Structure 1
Amino acid sequence: MAAGLNTERDANPSQPEVEKTLADFDPVKKPKRNKIAFACAILASMTSVLLGYDVGVMTGANIYIQHDFKLSDFQVALLVGTFNLYCLVGSAVSGRISDWIGRRYSIVVAGAIFFVGALLMGFATNYAFLMFGRFVAGFGVGYAVLIAPVYTVEVSPASSRGFLTSFPEVFINAGILLGYVSNYAFSKLPTNLGWRFMLGIGAVPSVFLALVVLGMPESPRWLVMQGRLRDARKVLDKTSDSKEESQERLSDIKEAAGIPQDCNDDVVHMQKQSHGEGVWKELLVHPTRSVRHILICAIGINIFQQASGIDAVVMYSPRIFEKAGITSSNDKLLATVAVVFTKTVFILVATVLLDRIGRRPLLLSSVGGMILSLATLGFGLTMIDHSHEKLSWAVALSIAMVLAFVAFFSIGLGPVTWVYISEIFPLRLRAQGISMGVAVNRVTSGAISTTFIMLYKAITIGGAFFLFAGIAMVGWVFFFACLPETRGRTLEDMGVLFGNVIKWRSVLNDEQKEEEVWGENGGKIQMGTKG
């Protein structure tokens, strides 16, 4: 933008010049949301239904499995919790494979693996057979959970990236609801058949996902990495808000991939990129300061997302409500459905807010609310535990705090985690970097869900939630100190935000000073962030 208007013209500006000058400061109309990018994000994110379905269906199925196979509480905890560790194996290999065969076919592979796992679980004849089926299904889910955010973030235009990349959390919750529906639908069958149908029916959505994904375009960034510039340009033209943005995105991707800007479609066969060789060395052995900062942020946000206890609340909500004093099976079911309904509503609110107010405000306010609700829940459950009479106010308080906790989680930490890790890694490191974040997420989730029963037996149910509140407090400090805002940035422009783990604000301040311009009245006009 020009530094200012000519002084002589300022004194006697003509009417057209005045209109043109005022027009320069008119607010830019927000482009309509790209329908093709929207459809691609929905289809890719639907793979997250597989994870949500397992969480939801095992909430009820584990009761029938325990009765049918005569399992101990420890065996049930292993059955439920180790699924997340199996996901770790899938997410660990999926990054490299998706760099090799592409994001789209990786989703097909994930669906096929889960299909086999669901059938194995449904036909299991003993505990060992069932655990093997859980391993196969968990491998497929870990694979799928990585691919959804990678594909979505690489297809999405910057203007709606936060909205679209929050979809995996939405569909995880949709899967949980489907799991509850499955529990209810098959609960009337004989015990030895009911849980088999609950688990086996999960094969149906995996087949649907594997088929519909074949109609999706491939990730433009993966196509550029393979030197297929013509194909990448076609996808970008369809998924960008304008032709100009498409050209800019292609230029940025080529720069990030190390392809010369003057490289044209006639010589792309000479510009083929690698399939991910050397990425682990760049991530772990010799990371740059920027990559090291990104890794700290990605690993930290995934640890705190799960270590704050969300899976314990969702997967063991019937036990929590029982400890709170709800003994009726129908009342426990109703309260559990209320948890998922609350989670759904606030996730949808978060999808709208992510691109409007940013990642950091949602994240910090979300975790702050989680700390308050966890501490209050711990207080309520402790009062119930130490009272010989039924405390109606403590029961009501505990139920309200469970709902408040999942609401605060769902409006910030839940969806922001997926959005944040999917957009901060450089192009070459993205798939395997996100796979590392997802692996940490699943390990932490597995540790919490496996040990929760033993934890509350050791330190009381109230003490367990006081512990989760303390972990959330540490998480809030970490997020405030280390995580910069990413809203509005292009994926290729993220690098400027990272490199100084604690002092990243000074880098942003220097950049913002360079973007300040002076209006003709001498006042400062702050330009928006790049993107």
Structure 2
Amino acid sequence: MSEGIEKNLRSDHGEFNEKGLTQEEVDLHNNRDAKIKNPLAGIPHDILMRQVEDFARDRDLSDMTDLLKRGALVAQNPAEFDTIPGITEPEREALAAEITHKWRQPRSMYFTVILCSIGAAVQGWDQTGSNGANLSFPVEFGIPDSQYLDAAETIPNPNYEHNLWLVGLINGAPYLASAFLGCWMSDPLNNYLGRRGTIFFSAVFCLLPVIGSACAQNWYELFITRILLGIGMGCKASTVPIYAAENVPAVIRGGLVMCWQLWTAFGILLGFSANLAVRDTGAIAWRLQLGSAFIPAVPLLIGVFFCPESPRWYMKKGKYTKAYRSLLRLRNTPIQAARDLYLVHAQLIEEAHIIGQSSYVGRFIELFTIPRVRRATLASFTVMIAQQMCGINIIAFYSSTVFVQAGATPQNALLASWGFGFVNFVFAFPAVWTIDTFGRRALLLFTFPQMAWTLLACGLCFLIPESSRAHLGLIALFVFLFAAFYSPGEGPVPFTYSAEAFPLSHREVGMSWAVATCLFWAFVLSLTWPRMVAAMTPTGAFCFYAGLNLTAFVMIFFWVPETKQRTLEELDYVFAVPTGKHMRYQAGKALPYFIQKYVLRRKGATLEPLYQMDKHTQVEGATRAASVVQATQARRKSSAR
């Protein structure tokens, strides 16, 4: 980082102290005024141009100094890009189209998203292979989980409880390995190999172990292969959402990053389809159900070589020329690439003032000691643990067993599980549009109460006599309704949210923390569910998770700020707002407003916004400027007629 740039850090008034900042600069440790600022706003024109010249010289980009200057001016004041000298008409149209035609993006960007989607499909398929295999592999290895050893139910099984724990351990092995190995390996792997290299590494571990699991000759070998699979799953889940979040524009980041959940749901559906397709293959059915997950891992392994590396990762490594080349592939025009390059650079400087550089262990400790990072850690922990508290993986891991316990035949249980996978996939589609309009937080707060009552109803339906035709039908209905509410809410938000919440300096280790949280509790759920059902009955177990949904709702209400349509750099200001201020706002203003408007139906109810948006922030500024450009174009067309 050049000394000239560091000295020329600015304030909105252009007055500088010895650190390049004024007393009025937003404190990224303690943003009590909840201001969201543009790091370039307010810099005098001559100082900004000098900073850009220093930047271009220091980063071997001197041949594009003029382009970088125009890009910096656009980044500084996106609301007035239409008036910036030197901006061509095609550039104006491209900048306006970011808002008016936000899904018009380059092929390389969409190819990157497709690759990330394949990675998610691998994750989903890996989860559901064991679902169908649960009906047969325990018997194959002599660990039946029945209370009795004979069909007449007269000879007790002395290893009954031991077998329940063992089946849970084998099912949960990938999540155990992910939580304690795979997730934490992603930080050093990303450091040395980059995003693409880490995805390739994870793809290898998602390909070979599933083939090995299909060839296992005893439960020890099956357990080991699933441990190895967990290494790949953890690395992939910690890296792919970051890779997507860093490559896509802010206005559609949620809609594209949430493809992780959409295609995880698709992978779950494919896994259930594979379970059905091989159900009649006899003794090898469970082997085919586990081994079929290698199919999507192959295109992931190959396709990653054709994607651009993350520009932000290149910038973190000081490789700005390569970062610009990646941005050229990920943006429609050079002016957009130059703007994003310099804007990210400016925010990285501000992050460096409060965070600095540290070792891997140091970065992990700083997840809990640096206020801005600690708030992201708390929020990501909340959304990730809530994904397990909601109970979705009861169904994803054990739906076949649940439906058999409800009185279904093994074949009908697989069919009902396929129905769950289909609903989970179809209802994930609305989130592509709603996650960037309604927002991450709003989707969570809407869907958690719905998941609570559907699980409660599902559990109570187990009390209906099995002889009644309504017994199995209502259980399946409420399982499907639960999936329909989960898929557009808690399904896509956690991985999207965690990938964007942390600053670049802590993004890998922060995502490792978040995913390890999620997958560790997935392991706990997988391990404990067979024993929980035996001890509490299905009714008690489902009601328990219904209560956890309400607990998660309260946690999200107080601890999870909104992140929609903010650039990754602007989120530094969101997470600089003290947790106490956020909680007081939600309890003292947001909750009373909701009661006044939606319960008491008072039309005059108003809500004071928490965040004070700088007019120069990218999305707000670009939206205003785009409307001006549209109006100008409309007048030209009208006069031409």
Shorter-chain-normalised TM-score: which range? Answer: 0.7 to 0.9
Instruction: Provide the residue aligned with 1:454 in structure 2.
Output: 531
Q: Matched residue of 1:347: which SS?
A: coil
Query: Are the structure 2 counterparts of residues 400 and 198 from structure 1 closer, same or farther at C-alpha, using a change threshold of 3 Å?
Result: closer
Counterparts of residues 333-352 of structure 1 (less than 5 Å): 333-352=414-433
TM-score, length of structure 1 as denominator length: 0.84
Counterparts of residues 490-509 of structure 1 (less than 5 Å): 490-498=567-575, 499-504=577-582, 509=609
In structure 2, what residue type is equivalent to 1:338?
G
Instruction: Provide the residue aligned with 1:87 in structure 2.
Output: 178
Query: Are the structure 2 counterparts of residues 360 and 238 from structure 1 closer, same or farther at C-alpha, using a change threshold of 3 Å?
Result: same
Mapped partners of 2:351, 2:491: distance in 1: 39
Name stretches of at least 5 consecutive residues in structure 1 with no aligned partner.
1-19, 21-25, 262-272, 517-524
Q: 1:412 aligns with which of 489, 501, 507?
A: 489
Q: 2:612 aligns with which of 489, 509, 512?
A: 512
Q: Would you say 1:423 and 2:515 are equivalent positions? A: no
Instruction: Provide the residue aligned with 1:70 in structure 2.
Output: 142
Instruction: Provide the residue aligned with 1:175 in structure 2.
Output: 267
Q: Would you say 1:313 and 2:384 are equivalent positions? A: no
Q: Would you say 1:31 and 2:102 are equivalent positions? A: yes
Instruction: Provide the residue aligned with 2:29 in structure 1.
Output: none
Mapped partners of 1:513, 1:154: distance in 2: 22
Contact 1:45 / 1:152 at 8 angstroms: preserved in 2?
no
Instruction: Provide the residue aligned with 2:362 in structure 1.
Output: 278
Contact 1:425 / 1:433 at 8 angstroms: preserved in 2?
yes
Say which structure is richer in helix.
1
In structure 2, what residue type is equivalent to 1:162?
G
- Alpha-carbon offset, residue 255 of structure 1: 2.6
- Alpha-carbon offset, residue 515 of structure 1: 5.1
Q: Would you say 1:291 and 2:373 are equivalent positions? A: yes
Counterparts of residues 389-408 of structure 1 (less than 5 Å): 390-408=467-485
Alignment RMSD: 3.0
Query: Are the structure 2 counterparts of residues 48 and 195 from structure 1 closer, same or farther at C-alpha, using a change threshold of 3 Å?
Result: same
Mapped partners of 2:350, 2:410: distance in 1: 62
Deviations 1:95-131 (A, max 9, x none): 2211221000111111112222123212222111111
Q: Would you say 1:104 and 2:193 are equivalent positions? A: no
Contact 1:33 / 1:160 at 8 angstroms: preserved in 2?
no
- Alpha-carbon offset, residue 447 of structure 1: 0.6
Query: Are the structure 2 counterparts of residues 482 and 502 from structure 1 closer, same or farther at C-alpha, using a change threshold of 3 Å?
Result: farther
- Alpha-carbon offset, residue 134 of structure 1: 1.0
Q: 1:223 aligns with which of 302, 314, 317?
A: 314
Q: Matched residue of 1:413: which SS?
A: coil
Mapped partners of 1:297, 1:494: distance in 2: 13
Contact 2:390 / 2:549 at 8 angstroms: preserved in 1?
yes
Deviations 1:24-55 (A, max 9, x none): xx996233431322220120231122221122
Mapped partners of 2:136, 2:126: distance in 1: 15
Mapped partners of 1:97, 1:50: distance in 2: 20
- Alpha-carbon offset, residue 344 of structure 1: 0.6
In structure 2, what residue type is equivalent to 1:343?
N
Q: 2:551 aligns with which of 474, 480, 485?
A: 474
Deviations 1:69-104 (A, max 9, x none): 111432222111222111211011112211221000
Q: 2:337 aligns with which of 246, 258, 271?
A: 246
Mapped partners of 1:253, 1:489: distance in 2: 13
- Alpha-carbon offset, residue 61 of structure 1: 1.5
- Alpha-carbon offset, residue 455 of structure 1: 0.6
Mapped partners of 1:69, 1:42: distance in 2: 39
Contact 2:455 / 2:542 at 8 angstroms: preserved in 1?
yes
Contact 1:363 / 1:412 at 8 angstroms: preserved in 2?
yes
Instruction: Provide the residue aligned with 1:198 in structure 2.
Output: 289
Counterparts of residues 113-192 of structure 1 (less than 5 Å): 113-191=205-283
In structure 1, what residue type is equivalent to 2:272?
Y
Contact 2:380 / 2:498 at 8 angstroms: preserved in 1?
yes
Contact 1:80 / 1:449 at 8 angstroms: preserved in 2?
yes
In structure 1, what residue type is equivalent to 2:129?
V
- Alpha-carbon offset, residue 345 of structure 1: 0.6
Mapped partners of 1:417, 1:485: distance in 2: 12
Deviations 1:200-236 (A, max 9, x none): 3333432321111101110000000111111111212
Mapped partners of 2:507, 2:268: distance in 1: 28
> Which structure has more RCO (C-alpha within 8 Å, separation ≥ 6)?
2
Mapped partners of 1:260, 1:168: distance in 2: 28
In structure 2, what residue type is equivalent to 1:483?
V
Contact 1:96 / 1:275 at 8 angstroms: preserved in 2?
no
Contact 2:200 / 2:304 at 8 angstroms: preserved in 1?
yes
Mapped partners of 1:216, 1:69: distance in 2: 43
Mapped partners of 1:133, 1:490: distance in 2: 40
Deviations 1:323-371 (A, max 9, x none): 33x4333332222111111101111121222122211221111112111
Higher alpha-carbon deviation: 40-49 or 460-469: 40-49
Higher alpha-carbon deviation: 32-41 or 339-348: 32-41
Instruction: Provide the residue aligned with 1:264 in structure 2.
Output: none
Q: 1:61 aligns with which of 93, 109, 133?
A: 133
Query: Are the structure 2 counterparts of residues 527 and 378 from structure 1 closer, same or farther at C-alpha, using a change threshold of 3 Å?
Result: farther
Instruction: Provide the residue aligned with 1:16 in structure 2.
Output: none
Deviations 1:165-222 (A, max 9, x none): 111112212222222232233333341x332333233334323211111011100000
Mapped partners of 1:38, 1:292: distance in 2: 33
Mapped partners of 1:513, 1:137: distance in 2: 45
Deviations 1:459-509 (A, max 9, x none): 111111111111110111111112111111000110211242242276994
In structure 2, what residue type is equivalent to 1:63?
L
Query: Are the structure 2 counterparts of residues 201 and 394 from structure 1 closer, same or farther at C-alpha, using a change threshold of 3 Å?
Result: closer
Higher alpha-carbon deviation: 220-229 or 474-483: 474-483
Contact 2:272 / 2:417 at 8 angstroms: preserved in 1?
no
Instruction: Provide the residue aligned with 1:520 in structure 2.
Output: none
In structure 1, what residue type is equivalent to 2:201?
V
In structure 2, what residue type is equivalent to 1:45?
S
In structure 2, what residue type is equivalent to 1:358?
G
Contact 1:104 / 1:213 at 8 angstroms: preserved in 2?
yes
Mapped partners of 2:125, 2:183: distance in 1: 18
Mapped partners of 1:66, 1:514: distance in 2: 60
Q: Would you say 1:373 and 2:444 are equivalent positions? A: no
Q: Matched residue of 2:529: which SS?
A: helix
Mapped partners of 1:242, 1:400: distance in 2: 49
Higher alpha-carbon deviation: 34-43 or 217-226: 34-43
Instruction: Provide the residue aligned with 2:409 in structure 1.
Output: 328
Contact 2:308 / 2:329 at 8 angstroms: preserved in 1?
no
Q: Matched residue of 1:63: which SS?
A: coil
Mapped partners of 1:392, 1:455: distance in 2: 26
Contact 1:149 / 1:418 at 8 angstroms: preserved in 2?
yes
In structure 2, what residue type is equivalent to 1:138?
G
In structure 2, what residue type is equivalent to 1:330?
Q
- Alpha-carbon offset, residue 394 of structure 1: 4.5
- Alpha-carbon offset, residue 308 of structure 1: 1.6
Contact 1:254 / 1:260 at 8 angstroms: preserved in 2?
no
